[in-house]
Structure 1
Amino acid sequence: MAAIHVLDNYYLAITFLITVAYQLFHFAIAFSLKFDKLTDWAGGTNFVLLAILTLSFSENRGDARNIVVSVFMMAWAARLSGFLLFRILKTGKDDRFDDKRDKFWSFLGFWVFQMLWVWTCSLPVTISNSPKVTQFRQPGFGTGCDIAGIVLFAIGFIMESVSDVQKYRFRSVHGNDGEVCDVGFFAWTRHPNYFGEILIQFAIFTIAVAPAANNYVRGGPSAALYASILGPIFLTSLLMFLSGLPLQERPGAKKRYEKGIKWPEYERYLRRTSILIPFPPQLYEKMPVILKRTVFLEFPLYVFDPAKHADQSKVQANSAEEGRVRPSDEQGLRS
């Protein structure tokens, strides 16, 4: 069946316009009703919509590779948005928007960024399904890229979905008692869900790029397939440098230290557990700091040093309130 051509031959314009319209529609509802429950749902289902749309337009809509990359994207997005919707229905509101919910431009800014996230991370699927790529003869499904992508996706999907459940169950039992979540995958990495999500996005790209990697697709379309790695790189950068680790690592440790929330236990957890890449805690604890800060990606911007970053007046006030004296950790978190 022939491809359906819409606006451009890479489906970039139509997917962008649909994403903008879809997000603005949900933004209007969320802002008008001060309603948090649509936010993550709108992001996840937008991925599903783009994957279905571009696959249905594609000349290769019956090709195994195009089906797999599209279904993988849909499966990841549907599971993630479903879980986040379930969680927000339980909690009632999203604390991320406490200072934005009533401010039009601040709240809109989040939705604009979500548009960029959805459209950019969808690039491997969008371009793989586009007429510019499908005009070429495709390699049979089962290349090295296909197999590697399937393995990576399976590992990532299991890690992300299982760790989400593990943490939810842990919080359901412990509530806000401050216990350190070191169960399951969290014993090997402090953020298994992030690691799994990164693997998933690179897995989808690895499968999508197979026609170019095997020299079936050439020229501009080949370059476009390789350039779609921007999607997983964008997601990785987002989690590592903007909305993921920077908002959780140092701020989380600072809060625990200043309020005395299981700080000794948490400090030990930080020493023993890799920030992102899964690794045995017994070995990670003994690893030289230079390797932790480089190979294992625990960059200085994540590290909490009580001597530099803690408000000692809050520490002393909390200690006095609890009728105890806790010396400040002048040595900081050195490993």
Structure 2
Amino acid sequence: MAEVHALDDYYLAITLLITIAYQLFFFSIAFSLKFDKLTDFAGGTNFVVLAIITLAFSGHHNARQIVDSLFIIIWGARLSGFLLFRIIKTGKDDRFDDKRDKFFPFLGFWVFQMLWVWTVSLPVTILNSPNVTKFRQPSFGTGRDIAGVILFTLGFLMEAVSDIQKYQFRSKPENKGKVCDVGLFVWTRHPNYFGEIIIQFSIFMIAVSPAAYGYVHGGAYSALYASILGAFFLTILLMFVSGLPLQERPGAKKRYESGNHWESFSKYTQRTSILIPFPPQLYVRVPTILKRTIFLEFPMYVFDPAKHADQGKIQDRQAEEGAADSSQQTQDGQAHQ
């Protein structure tokens, strides 16, 4: 099968256009029908579409291309399938409560999703492109290939298993409001994020293998190494934009102000690494300076009740609890009489 040259020889333009069209199609449905169930599904399946199209266009289909394309297809399909299943169960996505009826704020999320899909797909997109496939490549099985396969397997299992563990934990009525500290969550507060980061670096590691071993030269060499932007983009996204920043301090603040299992949550954060898996028996003894640096628990994630809590909400809760206690004591006294 002959390779297809579409717009540019790295498939950057065609994949961008496909991503924009794909996301706008689902955006039109989501905005018109106020339908949340397709948002994450559109993101995950877009990776699958890009991998299949670029692999089909390449016309070469060596083992490295097939493996790397298959990895991102498996990852995207599992992620979109799980998120679709979860949103069907929950009914709606709370992230869009202040955007669902506003055209441009809602569109802004979808534009960001376009950028996420296109950027994270770069290693596979460029590996499948004509400017890379024209070079002879080393047989699949180099040290980088094997390391990439091992890392992908570990990351995929960590992300998939942790998603299932958290869903099962939260599905039990007796666990409502409790801290999820089972399975992989014993070792890290966000095993799914850690697994996802590993997955993207493993895909890049396999894609860059031809350049690393000297089989690819010139612009293609630079393009393959530049595709690490995808893994970095996802890591930055999870660590500084839409992942940890939206869960760590805000989650702790909400628990503290509501009194929702705050003590158990506080102990959990003290003994459990924020991202990098580590034995809790050892992590609880790690000096704070090492937690804030080596273990990536930056100050921006840390909740300080004195600085970050809304004292008015706490006073209101305490007043309600005091009134409830007084009412209960009165009822107990009347029952005793």
- 2:111 aligned with 1:117, yes or no? no
> Match for residue 211 of structure 1?
210
1:59-78 pair list within 5 angstroms? 59-61=59-61, 63-78=62-77
> Match for residue 21 of structure 1?
21
| CA-CA distance at 1:312 after TM superposition | 1.5
| CA-CA distance at 1:176 after TM superposition | 7.0
The amino acid that maps onto 2:99 is K
> Match for residue 50 of structure 1?
50
Aligned length: 324
> Match for residue 199 of structure 1?
198
Deviating beyond 4 angstroms after TM superposition, the runs of 4 or more aligned structure 1 residues are none
Asked whether the 8 Å contact 2:10–2:125 carries over to 1, the reply is yes
> Match for residue 329 of structure 2?
none
| CA-CA distance at 1:320 after TM superposition | 1.9
CA distance in 2, matches of 1:54, 1:103: 35
> Match for residue 272 of structure 1?
271
The amino acid that maps onto 2:145 is D
The amino acid that maps onto 1:80 is L
Q: What do residues 264-317 of structure 1 show as CA deviations (whole Å, max 9, x unaligned)?
A: 100000100000000000100000001100000000000000011001121121
| CA-CA distance at 1:324 after TM superposition | 8.5
- 2:303 aligned with 1:304, yes or no? yes
1:160-179 pair list within 5 angstroms? 160-174=159-173, 177-179=176-178
The amino acid that maps onto 2:307 is K
1:16-165 pair list within 5 angstroms? 16-61=16-61, 63-165=62-164
| CA-CA distance at 1:81 after TM superposition | 0.2
1:238-277 pair list within 5 angstroms? 238-277=237-276
Structure 1: gaps of 5 or more residues: 326-335
CA distance in 1, matches of 2:74, 2:107: 27
Greater share of helix: 2
Asked whether the 8 Å contact 2:170–2:176 carries over to 1, the reply is no
CA RMSD of aligned residues (A): 1.2
> Match for residue 9 of structure 2?
9
| CA-CA distance at 1:175 after TM superposition | 6.8
CA distance in 1, matches of 2:283, 2:58: 47
Larger Rg: 2
Q: What secondary structure sits across from 1:207 in the alignment? A: helix
CA distance in 1, matches of 2:315, 2:76: 45
Question: TM-score of the superposition, structure 2-length normalised?
Answer: 0.95
- 2:181 aligned with 1:182, yes or no? yes
Asked whether the 8 Å contact 2:169–2:175 carries over to 1, the reply is no
CA distance in 2, matches of 1:82, 1:255: 29
